[in-house]
Amino acid sequence: MPTIVELENTASQVRRDIVRMVNGVMSGHPGGSLGCADYLVALYFEVMNHNASDFNMDGTNEDLFFLSNGHISPVFYSVLARSGYFNVAELATFRKLNTRLQGHPTTHEGLEGIRIASGSLGQGLSVAIGAAETKKLNNDKGIIFTLHGDGEIQEGQIWEAAMYAAHNKIDNLISVIDYNHKQIDGDISDVLNLGDINAKWQAFGWDVMEMNGNNMTEVITKLNEAKTHLGKGKPVMIIMKTEMGQGVDYMMGTHKWHGNAPNDEQLADALSQLEETLGDY
């Protein structure tokens, strides 16, 4: 079991990977990736029961994670590589021709750890529910985890899935919304306000929790607590408050770095703020 400090160190390395990956190809989405690094590190290095060295699509008896907001692929790829799904050297191929690390995650290139393509938003919750239903049919005790952007839940399919999960008591599912209040065109409150997001999910019949997604101790505590909410007839939703761009000062507090890569000078600035703990790829 890694300590909190070890997990934080891993998250620091993941954040270095993120900014280096997007700088290396001058494209990609660093803002949300940085904000969600702590959650994904917590999942893959502590919370989930999973088999990184021998990936298979069915994931029988494993916990499974589905990334619905596929544009934050840099954090997903880094965490998969750092946890042993594939060689970290492959991170250098991100978004380049013939890469398995496509701009948005895909099963199409056979990259270990990916179980569904995502990028077109709003689809991942339905897919996760399907995987959860199959686990129930197979009497498989694995847990399904997801991640969604807050802007993403403007998509109607999310609410179709929300209704289904409550009605059908999908209680082997822990969904997480990255609530950083920002989307491409600006603040969510300006683009299309989500209103009382907590009350909305409660009204849809979910067991709703909140957590600070940029505090490793709290992330671990809350995810473990969420697990104790399973098996009680309700799907679990965690509203995860994060800071877009977390860990790189000039990327925080703005939506500007949602889908823009830092140049070499900006990269150096970012790396100076993120300790190299596991060795750069």
Partner 1 sequence: MEKYPYTEKKDTRSGFGDGLTELGRENENVVALCADLTGSLKMNDFENENPDRFFQVGIAEANMIGIAAGMTIGGKIPFTGTFANFSTSRVYDQIRQSVAYSGKNVKICASHAGLTLGEDGATHQVLEDIGMMKMLPGMTVINPCDYNQTKAATKAIADHNGPVYLRFGRPKVPVFMNKEFVIGEAIMLNEGTDVTIFATGHLVWEAIQAGEQLEAKGISAEIINIHTIKPLDAKAVLESANKTKCVVTAEEHMRNGGLGDSIAQVISANNPMPIEYVAVNDSFGESGTPDQLMEKYGLNAEAIVAAAEKAVARKA
Binding site for partner 1 (CB under 8 A): 57-60, 64, 66, 106-108, 115-120, 122-135, 137-138, 140, 156-157, 160-161, 163-164, 167-168
Residue 45 or 66: the one with the smaller Cβ distance to partner 1 is 66
Residue 52 or 92: the one with the smaller Cβ distance to partner 1 is 52
Q: Report how far apart, in Å, the C-alpha atoms of 45 and of each of 4, 42, 170, 214 are.
A: 11, 6, 25, 16
In angstroms, give the least distance from the CB of 104 to partner 1: 9
In angstroms, give the least distance from the CB of 226 to partner 1: 20
What phi and psi, each to the nearest 5 degrees, are found at residue 146? -135, 170
Q: If DSSP codes are grouped into helix, strand and coil, which group holds residue 80? A: helix
In angstroms, give the least distance from the CB of 11 to partner 1: 27
Q: Which residues have CB under 8 Å from 198's CB, separation 6+?
A: 208, 210, 239
Residue 27 or 134: the one with the smaller Cβ distance to partner 1 is 134
Residue 164 or 250: the one with the smaller Cβ distance to partner 1 is 164
What gap in Å lies between CA 147 and CA 165, rounded to an integer? 16
Residue 16 or 95: the one with the smaller Cβ distance to partner 1 is 95
Residue 8 or 133: the one with the smaller Cβ distance to partner 1 is 133
Q: Which residues have CB under 8 Å from 146's CB, separation 6+?
A: 65, 66, 67, 68, 124, 125, 128, 173, 174, 175, 176
In angstroms, give the least distance from the CB of 129 to partner 1: 5
In the block, tokens 């692929």 appear at 73
In angstroms, give the least distance from the CB of 250 to partner 1: 33
What gap in Å lies between CA 145 and CA 131, rounded to an integer? 10
Counting Cβ atoms within 10 Å, is residue 137 exposed (0-12), middle (13-18) or buried (19+)?
exposed
Q: Report how far apart, in Å, the C-alpha atoms of 5 and of each of 134, 241, 246 are.
A: 36, 21, 17
In angstroms, give the least distance from the CB of 128 to partner 1: 6
Q: If DSSP codes are grouped into helix, strand and coil, which group holds residue 187? A: strand
